[in-house]
Structure 1
C-alpha cells in the first residue's frame, strides 16, 4: 500500500511507481455548489438550507459530523417529491451559538427544518441518524417513513476508536492544518481509493469546504454523548423504517444498526459486508433508499 500524503502532486493525479502515462489525471470534477439560503428557526438559530424537487411527499435529509449538504445530496437523487437538505449548527453557513451542544440541540435543528418545510419523511446519516433518534424519542409519531444510514450511537457511548477519530477531525479543522485535516478525512475512503484520482478529488472538495467554513466548537463534546437515555423509547415509533449498516466499520458499528432495527417495530435492516459503500455500492445504495422512500 502506497503511503498517503498531502498536498497532492501538482498535475492533479497520484504518482505511481514504475513507467507509465504521466499526463494529468484529475478524477471526476466535483459538482458546482448549489445556491443555498439561510432560514430563521423558532429557536433563533439560522440554518443553511437547500430545497430541490417539487410536490409531495417531502423528505428532510440530515448529514453526518463534518459533512453537509454536498455529501448528503446523492442520497436523495432518486427520491420522489420535494427534498430538503440542510446544515446542522456549526456546519457550513449555519449559526454556531455558544456551546457545548447536545443531540437534543441537533434534534431541535432537524425538527425546525422539517416543520418549516412540511417534511413527512426523514433520512439521517451517522450524526444525523443520532439527531433523528433524539427527535423520535420525544415525538415518535413525527414522521411517516424513516431511513437511518450508518447509525453510530444510541444509548451507549461510542467506543474509543470512534471517539479518537472524531476528535482528530475536530482538532484538525480547528488547527487549520491542511495536511492534518487530509489525514483525518482520508480514513473515510476505502484503502483502495485513497491514492486514486477520484479519491484525491473527494479530498480536495472536503478540505476546501472544511477549511473555508470550519466546524463550530460546540461540536467537540458530541463524541462523548448519546442521543437517548434509553433505546426503549423508540419502540413507540410505528413508521416504516429502513436501517442500513456496514460490517467492519469502526465509526459506525454494525451492532448499533442491529439494535436500532430490533427496537423499531416496523424496521427493515440491511447490512453491507464491508465499509465504504458510498464508493463500492453507490448504485445499490441509492436504489435501496429511493425504492424504500418511494413505496
Structure 2
C-alpha cells in the first residue's frame, strides 16, 4: 500500500513512489467555502449557519464531532427543498460557552436551528445523530422524517478508540501543527484514497478549516458521555427513520446502529459492508438519503 505523507508536494498534486506512474499529477483544490452567517439562538449561543436550496420542505443537518458544515453538505446534495447546515458550539465560528457540555446542550443547538428555519426533517451524523436522539427524547414528534448516519453512541459512552482519536485531534489543533492535524484527519480516509487528488483536496480543506477556526477543548469530554440513559426512551418517536451503519468502522460500531434501529418504532436499517462509504459508495448513499427524505 502506498503510504501517506504531509506536507503535499509543491506542484499541488500527490506523488507516489514505487511501482506505478511517478510524474507530477494535478489535483483540483477544494472548492471555496460558501459564506456563512452567525445566528443568535433563544438559549444565548450564536451558531454558524448556511442555508441552501429553495422550497417549502426544510431539512436540518447536524454534523459529527470535529467536523462541520463542509463535511456535512455532501449528505444533502440530492435532497430537495431548503437545507440548513450549522456548526455545533465549539466548532467553526460558533460560540464556545463555558462548559462542561452535554448532549442536552447539543440538542438545544440542533433544536434552535430547526425551529428558526421551520425544519420538518432532520439528518444527524455521528455526534449529530446522538444530539438528534437526545432532542427526540424531549420532543418525540418534532420531525416528520429522520436520518441517522453512523451513530456513534446511544445509551453507552463511546469506546477508547474514539476518545483517543479526538484527544489527538484537539491536541494537534491547539498546537497549530498542520502535519500533526493531517496525520489524525487522514485516518478519516480509506487507505486507497489518501494519496489521490480527491484525498489531498479533502485534507487541505479540513486542515485549513481546523487551523483557522480551532476546536474547543470542551469537546474532549463528550466521548465519555452517552446521549441517552435508556434507549427505550425513543419508543415514543413515530416518524419514519433511516439508520445507516458501516461494518468495520471502529469509531461507529455497527451494533450502535442496530440498537438504534431496534429502539425506533418505524426505523429502516441499512448497513454498508465496509467503512468510508462517502468515498466508496457515494452515489448509492446520496440516493438512499434523498429518496428517503423526499418520500
1:271 paired with 2:271, answer yes
- Report the counterpart of residue 16 of structure 1 in structure 2: 16
4+ residue runs over 6 A deviation: none
Q: Secondary structure at the match of 1:25?
A: coil
Partner of 1:163: 163
Name 2:194's counterpart in structure 1: 194
In 2: Cα distance, 1:162 partner to 1:38 partner: 29
- The answer for the alignment partner of 1:105 in structure 2 is 105
Count, aligned residues = 294
Are positions 1:59 and 2:59 aligned together? yes
What's the CA shift string for 1:167-190, capped at 9, x where partnerless? 211221122111111111000000
**Residue pair 1:167, 1:223 contacting (<8 A) in 2 also:** no
TM-score normalised by L of structure 2: 0.97
Aligned equivalents of 2:21, 2:108: Cα separation in 1: 54
**In the alignment, is the contact (CA less than 8 A) between 1:101 and 1:222 conserved in 2?**
yes
**Residue equivalent to 1:252:** 252
Question: Which structure 2 segments of 5+ residues have no match?
Answer: none
Shift of 1:3: 2.8
Aligned-pair CA distance for 1:71: 0.9
- Tell me the equivalent position of 2:36: 36
The SS at the match of 1:205 is helix
TM-score, with length taken from structure 1: 0.97
Question: How far apart, in 2, do the equivalents of 1:227 and 1:174 lie?
Answer: 26
**2:14 touches 2:25 (CA, 8 Å); kept in 1?**
no
Give distance in 1, aligned partners of 2:38 and 2:10. 36
Quote the Cα distance in structure 2 between the aligned partners of 1:53 and 1:81.
Answer: 6
CA shift digits 1:117-162 (9 cap, x unpaired): 0011100000100100110111111111000000000111211112
Residues 249, 275 of structure 1: 8 Å contact kept: yes
Partner of 1:269: helix, strand, or coil? strand
Q: Secondary structure at the match of 1:268?
A: strand
User: Aligned partners of 1:136, 1:126: CA distance in 2, in Å?
Assistant: 16
Structure 1 runs not aligned, ≥5 long: none
Separation in structure 2 between the aligned mates of residue 7 and residue 25 of structure 1, nearest angstrom: 16
Q: Distance in 2 between matches of 1:109 and 1:210?
A: 20
Take 2:223 and 2:160, find their aligned partners in 1: how far apart are those partners?
A: 10
Q: CA deviation at 1:25?
A: 2.0
> What is the CA–CA distance in structure 1 between the aligned matches of 2:25 and 2:131, rounded to whole Å?
42
- Aligned Cα root-mean-square deviation (Å): 1.2
Shift of 1:23: 2.8
Instruction: Provide the residue aligned with 1:285 in structure 2.
Output: 285
Asked if the contact 1:173–1:211 (Cα under 8 Å) also holds between the matched residues in 2, the reply is yes
Partner of 1:68: 68
Distance in 1 (CA, whole Å) between partners of 2:281 and 2:208 is: 26
C-alpha deviation, 1:202, in angstroms: 0.7
Whether contact under 8 Å (1:241, 1:266) holds in the other structure is yes
State the shift of 1:15 in Å.
2.2
Residue of structure 1 equivalent to 2:147: 147
Q: Cα offset for 1:166? A: 1.7
Contact in 1 for aligned 2:130/2:152 (Cα 8 Å): yes
Structure 1 position 237 matched with structure 2 position 230:
no
Give the Å deviation of 1:286.
Answer: 0.4
Q: 2:200 & 2:36 partners in 1: Cα distance?
A: 26
Equivalent residue for 1:117?
117
